[in-house]
């Protein structure tokens, strides 16, 4: 039994890594020591945690000796290479990349939905799901428990911070160029993102869907343990800095009513009902930014599909869609080390 684990963040200087640091601090995570790892470029830089400066170290094969839990958010390539090294050194890896998510012997966990899955980790690797999938399922899980989910038709409205610091920079630069009347440059996205929306997140596959869109299908099935769940999704990049929004029509086994659906959110952890459209009350991305809770609103009967509800879910994808979810998984692991 380890009283207080030694925790490492791999990719500590990235957008999600920094947020992990914030979440560990805010949640008063019980750790004995925190090691920050990144590329050689950042080695020697200091980051503040609990009023103390910690030096960032270069990630190497030897980084994991003595570490109990490692939170990875440095991209799929780094995870593929270093997660097995960390696990072999006796560390539990919580990986934010898509590298292991669909592996049968790697659990895919949203703590409010399937916390028990974290205990069954033969490779000592636990995967953190895709950000849009987490936020959508946070909105749907209470309804699934009440009515039995059968299918999802979703459109996402994804913030530019989902593409890391470079996405934010591109939107800011383009807005500046438009205001100044200078030339707009595009580097990160296939089209100008300022004053635009782009129905293209991640790479297209033979089916005509993108990889991001298929994550909602495959990861949704795995997390909810619903192998027959049907999902159609369109993922769209929008000129919003932070927080993803998702418009969902959800099909159920039982006939839902709007009132029962609203009731289903009572006392649920991590998701809040904000649903009084006559008063202008519904979730918007600026209101969830920097917050832990996802928000759900605009709940109404779907006018096309039987036994279906239409709703709108919003959540901070850097927090609940990535860093916070990983830290919550770490809390489950730490409690049982």
Kindly name the residue from 131, 233, 235, 294 that is annotated as catalytic.
131
**Phi, then psi, of 166 in degrees rounded to 5:** -70, -30
Q: Which one of the spans 13-21, 134-142, 257-265, 303-311 is the region binding ligand A2P (CB under 6 A)?
A: 13-21
Which strands, in side-by-side order, build the sheet including 294-301? 230-237, 149-158, 244-252, 308-315, 294-301, 271-273
Kindly name the residue from 233, 235, 244, 294 that is annotated as catalytic.
244
Distance CA 297, CA 213 (A): 22
Least distance to ligand A2P from the beta carbon of 80, Å?
12
Using CB under 6 A, count the residues that bind ligand A2P. 16
Residue 280, exposed/middle/buried by CB under 10 A (0-12, 13-18, 19+)? exposed
Interactions with ligand A2P, residue window 29-48 (CB under 6 A) = 38-39, 41-42
Contacts of 87 (CB under 8 A, 6+ apart): 93, 123, 124, 125
Told to judge if 91 belongs to the known catalytic residues of this protein, a careful annotator would answer no
Locate all alpha helices (DSSP H) within the chain, ordered by sequence: 15-26, 76-88, 131-147, 165-180, 211-224, 258-263, 285-288, 324-335
163 near ligand A2P (CB under 6 A): no
Nearer to ligand A2P, 11 or 270 (CB): 11
Three-state secondary structure call for residue 226: coil
Task: Please pick, from the candidates 27, 164, 202, 234, the single residue that binds ligand A2P as defined by CB under 6 A.
Answer: 164
Least distance to ligand A2P from the beta carbon of 301, Å?
40
59 near ligand A2P (CB under 6 A): yes
DSSP classification of residue 232 = E
Task: Please pick, from the candidates 21, 74, 93, 194, the single residue that binds ligand A2P as defined by CB under 6 A.
Answer: 74
Nearer to ligand A2P, 54 or 117 (CB): 54
Told to judge if 185 belongs to the known catalytic residues of this protein, a careful annotator would answer no
Task: Please pick, from the candidates 5, 7, 8, 13, the single residue that binds ligand A2P as defined by CB under 6 A.
Answer: 13
Which residues are known catalytic residues?
131, 244
- The contact set with ligand A2P (CB under 6 A) reads 11-15, 17, 38-39, 41-42, 59, 74-75, 78, 164-165
């Amino acid at each position: 039994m380890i009283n207080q684990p030694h925790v490492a963040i791999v990719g500590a200087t990235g957008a999600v890594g920094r947020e992990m640091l914030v979440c560990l601090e805010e949640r008063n995570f019980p750790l004995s020591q925190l090691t920050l790892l990144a590329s050689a470029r950042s080695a020697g830089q200091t980051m503040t945690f609990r009023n103390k400066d910690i030096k960032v170290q270069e990630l190497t094969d030897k980084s994991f000796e003595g570490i109990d839990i490692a939170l990875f958010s440095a991209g799929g390539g780094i995870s593929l290479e270093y997660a097995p090294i960390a696990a072999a050194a006796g560390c539990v890896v919580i990986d934010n990349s898509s590298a292991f998510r669909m592996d049968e012997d790697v659990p895919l966990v949203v703590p409010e939905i399937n916390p028990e899955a974290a205990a069954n980790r033969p490779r000592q690797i636990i995967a953190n799901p895709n950000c849009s999938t987490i936020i959508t399922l946070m909105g749907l899980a209470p309804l699934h428990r009440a009515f039995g989910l059968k299918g999802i038709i979703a459109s996402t409205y994804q913030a530019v911070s989902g593409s890391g610091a470079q996405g934010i920079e591109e939107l800011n630069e383009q807005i500046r160029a438009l205001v100044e009347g200078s030339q707009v440059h595009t580097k990160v996205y296939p089209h100008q993102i300022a004053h635009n929306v782009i129905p293209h997140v991640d790479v297209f596959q033979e089916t005509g869907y993108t990889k991001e869109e298929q994550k909602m299908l495959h990861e949704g099935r795995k997390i909810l343990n619903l192998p027959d769940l049907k999902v159609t999704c369109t993922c769209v990049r929008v000129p919003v800095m932070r927080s993803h929004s998702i418009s969902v029509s959800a099909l159920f086994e039982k006939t839902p009513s709007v009132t029962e659906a609203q009731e289903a959110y009572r006392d649920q952890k991590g998701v809040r009902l904000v649903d009084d459209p006559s008063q202008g009350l519904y979730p918007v991305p600026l209101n969830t930014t920097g917050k832990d809770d996802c928000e759900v609103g605009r709940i109404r009967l779907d006018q096309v599909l039987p036994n279906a509800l239409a709703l709108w879910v919003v959540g901070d994808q850097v927090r609940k869609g990535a860093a916070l979810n990983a830290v919550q998984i770490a809390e489950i692991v730490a409690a049982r080390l």
